Amino acid sequence: MTPDDAPAERFDLDQFLPYRLNHLADRISQALARLYETRHDLTVAQWRVLAWLHHREELTAKQIREATRMDKARVSRAVQGLEARELIRRRPSPEDQRRHELRLTAAGEALLAALIPEARAWEAALVAPLSIEEYRQLFELMARLESQLTKLES
């Protein structure tokens, strides 16, 4: 029997970290999406835009695309929908009139004031089986993997 004749090793997706992380992230995102879709009529993309604007105060659509890894069309639709609901405002950048800066409005801030505690409570329920130390370790391990990924990408 030659190496070419050897049976292929079984590839178990349940033991393949990229698959497991992606699967878990998708499930978490979908479950959390039900919270802000049903209670606040927001899409996943709109939630991400609002969350990033809350985190950074002012961003361009391009910066949001880079931060969220969403495509241009998805970010554009989210921005348009949020602007139509007057949750964000868009203004031309003083440095470059082709670029628009995005900020939360008072209504957007008020929405997030209600939504963020709900999202945090949901997260607390999700991680309830973990001890505080395990929760910290999870974030440490993710940071180490992200650092290693950065090295592998360069």
pLDDT band at residue 150 using 50, 70 and 90 as cut-offs: very high
Instruction: Show the domains of the chain with their CATH numbers.
Output: 13-116 (1.10.10.10)
Q: Count of residues for the chain?
A: 154
How far is CA 56 from each of CA 63, 64, 67, rounded to the nearest angstrom?
A: 10, 10, 11
Q: Tens of pLDDT along 106-145?
A: 999 999 999 999 999 999 999 999 999 999 999 999 999 9
The neighbouring-strand residues paired with 11 are: none
pLDDT (0 to 100) of residue 30: 92
Q: From the DSSP assignment, how many helices (H) and strands (E) are in the chain?
A: 6, 3
Q: Tens of pLDDT along 63-104?
A: 999 999 999 999 999 999 999 999 999 998 888 777 889 999
